[in-house]
Amino acid sequence: MDIPFPELWIVISVAAAAFQTVRFMLQKVLSTATLSAAGATFSRFVYSAPFILTFLAFYLASSGKTMPGFTAAFWAYAVAGGAAQILATVCVVLLFKQRNFAVGITFKKTEVILTALMGWILLGEGVAPLGLVAILLGVFALLLLSGGPGTSGLRLSDLRNRAAGLGIASGALFSISAVTYRGASLSLEGGEAALRAGVTLGAVVCLQTAIMVVWLVLREPGQIRAVWGARRVAVWIGMTSMAGSYCWFYAFTLQNAAYVKAIGQVELILSIAASTLFFHEKITRRELAGIAVLLASILMLVLVI
């Protein structure tokens, strides 16, 4: 019996999660050693922009394609999504300073259900009933994972602290960026999905780099020099950021952002592996239960779409 190969957007979403896990690992290392939260965030954009623009130029030259047409809606979506992603990344990096890597990524995963909500509000995109059940199952996994060591039961009070606030804020902001990036890509006139994803990514990263330069010059001027000093590590943040972001943009162009982010929950599993193998952090039984529920959520979502 032939085993069906997963749809392209699913493969791309998993690849995006893998690249993003590596990038956040590198940002955690920099933010706890040499850079501020804003500096670690800036390193992502400034070092990825050259790779993205070079890739886009090579693609256009080798394929003979032409740039798609820009619209006012595209720039509105791009600016909103870029600003939201900057703030979301700062929240995650700040969270890494307070909690371990796995917990930081876990709180970030509130973006899944919020992406579905934002997609409905901003783009009018619904989610199939069974798809919604799968996403809610993922949220249940989040509640399992949100409690600290020794926690029993599901208590909303676990979410009432600064770390939880930063995590949920990052999830909300990442959900806005996911939906607006899909809106931006779909607002371009002409071009296939791969090209529209690359153009959207290039435009957004350039905007983000410019915004961060202005912010750092005005508020944290020393961080620009620090980011340059950390270039041996930061350049890898740029490369993994480019690869991960392109995969996210490509997947958003192919499928509803809520479904893409739901598949991207595999990032949590990868982050727990990173916590254990790289940062030497302990995984509790409760966290293992959360992983199992999360896997069930992802498998259900894949089967019902």
More confident residue, 259 or 150: 259
Which stretch, 70-74, 125-129, 257-261, has highest mean pLDDT?
70-74
Structure tokens belonging to residue 57: 């130029």
- Flag whether 220 is in a domain: yes
Query: Does residue 166 contact residue 91 with C-beta atoms inside 8 Å?
Result: yes
Dihedral of CA atoms 279, 104, 210, 208 in degrees, nearest 10, equals: 120
* Residues across the chain: 305
The model carries a pTM of 0.75
- Flag whether 2 is in a domain: no
- Flag whether 13 is in a domain: yes
Tally the domains of the chain: 1
Average pLDDT, the chain: 80
pLDDT of residue 229: 87
- Flag whether 130 is in a domain: yes
Interatomic CA distance for residues 59 and 53, integer angstroms: 10
Query: Does residue 96 contact residue 104 with C-beta atoms inside 8 Å?
Result: yes
- Mean pLDDT within 137-151: 66
Burial class from Cβ neighbours inside 10 Å (0-12, 13-18, 19+) for residue 271 reads buried
More confident residue, 152 or 132: 132
pLDDT of residue 237: 84
Give pLDDT tens digits for 167-201. 778 888 888 888 888 889 889 988 787 888 889 98
DSSP letter (8 states) at residue 124: -
- Flag whether 280 is in a domain: yes
Structure tokens belonging to residue 163: 């770390």
Which stretch, 31-40, 143-152, 217-226, 281-290, has highest mean pLDDT?
217-226
pLDDT of residue 74: 94
- Flag whether 209 is in a domain: yes
Query: Does residue 104 contact residue 232 with C-beta atoms inside 8 Å?
Result: no
Which domain, by its residues, includes 17? 8-146+156-304
pLDDT of residue 3: 43
- Mean pLDDT within 205-214: 93
- Flag whether 3 is in a domain: no
